[in-house]
Chains A and B, each alone.
Chain A
Amino acid sequence: MSAVLAPSGTTTVREAIRDTLRGEMQRDSRVVLLGEDIGAYGGSFAVTRGLVEEFGTERVRDTPIAESAIVGAAVGAAMGGLRPVAELMTTNFALVAIDQIVNHAAKLRHMFGDQFGAPVVIRMVNGWGQLAATHSQSFDAWFAHVPGLHVVAPSTPADAAGLLRTAMRGEDPVIFIEHSRQYAQKGETPESDHLVPFGKARLVREGRDVTLVAYSFTVPMAEAAADRLAKDGIDAEVLDLRSLRPLDREALVRSVSKTHRVVCVEESWRSFGVGAEVSATLQELAFDELDAPVQRVAAREVPMPYSKPLEAACLPAVDDVVAAVRSQL
């Protein structure tokens, strides 16, 4: 089913994730999937479609609508020797499992003196689309705040596959952030056994005048902004963080040492966000390299409204990125 949607040599993010799940399930019989409607229904975003037919209902487990049980059972099963991948239909629903994620998954290894960990992957989906206040959020920075978690958010099929494979073969809990608007995005077909290490940003595009820091769905936005700026002779570098915890601080410093200007683009609320962390990191580690204050492009600080023009006004866009860059020059 994977070859149907994308032309030869390219793959969608959705296919990359599905193919990686399939490959790891074939490779390791301990890998199990669980989540709401991931089996017979095929997954809310069709990521797991076809897997239950291939691996059966014991390894692709539909669950009750009970996120605390989904994450808790996944963590406990990981302690007991399985390699679970839990799907939370959207990031918003992770909030009712926050006790399992923060108080349990993130704590086990250290709190019990490094006797055991929780090798579990928790996939969750950011996104929006006139879904209103409780279905349009992202909490990347919340999770990235917590020691004991890895937090990754790919923007390409290759990174989705490579980061997911690392997560599934690792020894600790991983928050794997997907985006509903990126599933159909195409890119180069991932190498079949490639592992992307956590904590390494990807240099998407080299430039001399300004660094656009982005991750997940804001990477294509930053690339579009860079294209626009290039027409005006502004040479923007684009850095895809890929991993929020650990954060690749070296890559940030390296880039700002070259461009001396930074705009960070994120989809969540501005205050206390990823951009705040990037900005603080740069003033701590590369203060003398900065020729302008770090700019943050982020969502407006309101609960997401339903109405289309209001929603659009909340979200960061290419225009905002371009404007932020111009304000620095």
Chain B
Amino acid sequence: MVFALSPHTAAAPNVVASAVPDLDAWDVYRAMLRVRRFEELAGQHYAQGRIGGFLHLAIGEEAVCVGASSVLQPHDHLMTHYRDHGWALVRGMDAGRCMAELFGKATGVSGGRGGSMHFADAGKRMWGGYAIVGGHLTLATGLAWAAKVQEPGTIACVVFGEGASNIGEFHEAANLAATWGLPILFLCENNGFGMGTRSERAAAVPDVARRAAAYGMPAWQVDGMDVRDVAAGMREAVAFVRNGEGPAILEAHTYRFRGHSMADPELYRDKAEVEVMKERDPVARIGAELRAIDSARVDEITAEVEREMQAAVEFAESSPFPDVSTLEDGIVARADGINPSTRSSR
């Protein structure tokens, strides 16, 4: 079910569409399963002490990144919050190098400097996961500005949690984007909790989409547990933004089945609530649907994904740690600031 909120209105949302007949269910199933298995294995290796620091799993939220990426173009800029594993994988980043980053290895996507919260691949225009809540929202307006100036038709998509909508940078970014007419989609993964605080306790207006009216932006609300609904909403929202009509908000209501991070004892919610939500598991739902059509093919995909993810773990385990002699590499390009290519350029 996709709801659209018109600019300049806070009225009840209207149902507009949700059919996406050309979305290949097999493709999205494989994509979601890859994210799911990557994260399950990451969780296991975290528990065994091979992965340190923070590990924020998006298990249960896979439909959002997969549905969204079915609409975004490779030339579009993408920037996310710290729950970024799925976004990296759907962007085409290598599972082995992503896993190696979690293991802190030199072969990791960020050279072992970033860890779970900082996956990036500049070549794929995945500009990274960011760990200061809301801090990346203004950065993304800059990407959209650069796109507007240099590459009309390219948009920026910035992913954030509903918790980030309560920090000042959300307002500064939304206002700047709307004032400057920037091609940016604010994609809110609303999983209902800012860490352990239910969004109703932290936001006067918990529906982030409704805030769009304050900036004269249109907004879409989708069922983030349903990959088709996400894709349908994305098509409308991205078309609006790509058309040069300014920024938009898309809010996907979703749910994480695991804690905020691996350290979360989950005292703030009922286990029964989680079990109820698991009945809407986006991966299991589409898996069951496909199994009714061709069970053998589901098994085949499952086995392929398992092989890929086990190989990713083996790659991560067998990769070397970064050499300590490289510790101070890559802090600045050059200490004296002189860019050799521009020294005598006039």
Check A79/B142 contact, CB under 8 A, given A103-B132, A113-B112: yes
- Cβ-defined contact, A171 with B333, below 8 A: yes
Let me know if B172 is at the binding interface, CB within 8 A: yes
- Cβ-defined contact, A77 with B146, below 8 A: yes
Check A68/B138 contact, CB under 8 A, given A112-B110, A113-B111: yes
- Cβ-defined contact, A72 with B137, below 8 A: yes
Let me know if B128 is at the binding interface, CB within 8 A: yes
Number of A interface residues in the complex (CB < 8 A): 55
- Cβ-defined contact, A170 with B339, below 8 A: yes
Stretch at the interface among B30-38, B119-127, B310-318: B119-127
- Cβ-defined contact, A198 with B335, below 8 A: yes
User: In the complex, A205→B39 CA distance in Å?
Assistant: 63
- Cβ-defined contact, A110 with B338, below 8 A: no
Let me know if A197 is at the binding interface, CB within 8 A: yes
User: In the complex, A114→B343 CA distance in Å?
Assistant: 22
Q: In the complex, which of the residues A61, A80, A112, A150 contacts B337, with contact meaning CB atoms closer than 8 Å?
A: A150
Minimum CB distance partner of A109 in chain B: B330
User: In the complex, A147→B328 CA distance in Å?
Assistant: 10
Minimum CB distance partner of A112 in chain B: B120
Check A113/B338 contact, CB under 8 A, given A75-B142, A81-B146: no
Q: In the complex, which of the residues A82, A108, A172, A193 contacts B149, with contact meaning CB atoms closer than 8 Å?
A: A82
In the assembled complex, which residues on chain B have CB atoms less than 8 Å from the CB atom of A79? 127, 139, 142-143, 146
Within 8 A of A (CB), among B125-141: 127-128, 130, 132, 135-141
Work out how many contacts link A and B, with CB atoms closer than 8 A.
178
Check A112/B113 contact, CB under 8 A, given A99-B132, A198-B337: yes
Q: Mark A14-33, 1 if CB is under 8 A from B, else 0.
A: 00000000000001001010
- Cβ-defined contact, B337 with A167, below 8 A: yes
Number of B interface residues in the complex (CB < 8 A): 57
Q: Mark B323-339, 1 if CB is under 8 A from A, else 0.
A: 00000011111111111
Within 8 A of B (CB), among A25-79: 27, 30, 32, 58, 61, 63-64, 66, 68-69, 71-79
User: In the complex, A171→B334 CA distance in Å?
Assistant: 8
In the assembled complex, which residues on chain A have CB atoms less than 8 Å from the CB atom of B110? 111-113, 115
In the assembled complex, which residues on chain B have CB atoms less than 8 Å from the CB atom of A157? none
User: In the complex, A199→B335 CA distance in Å?
Assistant: 7
Minimum CB distance partner of B184 in chain A: A76
Let me know if B173 is at the binding interface, CB within 8 A: yes
User: In the complex, A200→B137 CA distance in Å?
Assistant: 36
Check A110/B176 contact, CB under 8 A, given A80-B146, A81-B146: no
Q: Within the complex, what minimum Cβ distance (angstroms) separates B108 from chain A?
A: 7
- Cβ-defined contact, B139 with A76, below 8 A: yes
In the assembled complex, which residues on chain B have CB atoms less than 8 Å from the CB atom of A150? 332, 337
Within 8 A of A (CB), among B28-78: 77
In the assembled complex, which residues on chain B have CB atoms less than 8 Å from the CB atom of A63? 176
Minimum CB distance partner of B138 in chain A: A72
Let me know if B261 is at the binding interface, CB within 8 A: no
- Cβ-defined contact, A80 with B142, below 8 A: yes
- Cβ-defined contact, A82 with B333, below 8 A: no
Q: Mark A92-127, 1 if CB is under 8 A from B, else 0.
A: 000000011001100011111111110000000000
Let me know if A166 is at the binding interface, CB within 8 A: yes
Q: Within the complex, what minimum Cβ distance (angstroms) separates A278 from chain B?
A: 19
Q: In the complex, which of the residues A115, A148, A192, A198 contacts B120, with contact meaning CB atoms closer than 8 Å?
A: A115
- Cβ-defined contact, B337 with A197, below 8 A: yes
In the assembled complex, which residues on chain B have CB atoms less than 8 Å from the CB atom of A78? 142
In the assembled complex, which residues on chain B have CB atoms less than 8 Å from the CB atom of A115? 110, 120-122
Let me know if B346 is at the binding interface, CB within 8 A: yes
Minimum CB distance partner of A73 in chain B: B142
Q: In the complex, which of the residues A169, A192, A197 contacts B342, with contact meaning CB atoms closer than 8 Å?
A: A169
Let me know if B18 is at the binding interface, CB within 8 A: no
Let me know if A214 is at the binding interface, CB within 8 A: no
In the assembled complex, which residues on chain A have CB atoms less than 8 Å from the CB atom of B21? none
Q: Mark A149-165, 1 if CB is under 8 A from B, else 0.
A: 01000000000000000
Let me know if A264 is at the binding interface, CB within 8 A: no
Q: Within the complex, what minimum Cβ distance (angstroms) separates A73 from chain B?
A: 4
Minimum CB distance partner of B169 in chain A: A68
Of A76, A108, A112, A172, chain B has the most CB atoms within 10 Å of the CB of A76
User: In the complex, A71→B169 CA distance in Å?
Assistant: 11
Let me know if B210 is at the binding interface, CB within 8 A: no
Of B120, B128, B139, chain A has the most CB atoms within 10 Å of the CB of B139
Let me know if A174 is at the binding interface, CB within 8 A: yes
- Cβ-defined contact, B122 with A76, below 8 A: no
Of B79, B120, B172, chain A has the most CB atoms within 10 Å of the CB of B172
In the assembled complex, which residues on chain A have CB atoms less than 8 Å from the CB atom of B180? 61
- Cβ-defined contact, A111 with B114, below 8 A: yes
User: In the complex, A100→B130 CA distance in Å?
Assistant: 12
Check A172/B333 contact, CB under 8 A, given A80-B77, A80-B142: yes
Point out residues on A near B: beta carbons under 8 Å.
27, 30, 32, 58, 61, 63-64, 66, 68-69, 71-82, 84, 99-100, 103-104, 108-117, 147-148, 150, 166-167, 169-172, 174, 192-193, 195, 197-200, 246
Nearest 10 interchain pairs by C-beta: A76-B142, A72-B138, A80-B146, A113-B111, A114-B330, A69-B172, A76-B139, A77-B142, A171-B333, A198-B337
Contacts A72-B138, A110-B331 known; list 11 others, CB within 8 Å.
A27-B345, A63-B176, A64-B172, A69-B141, A81-B150, A103-B132, A110-B113, A112-B110, A113-B108, A166-B338, A171-B333
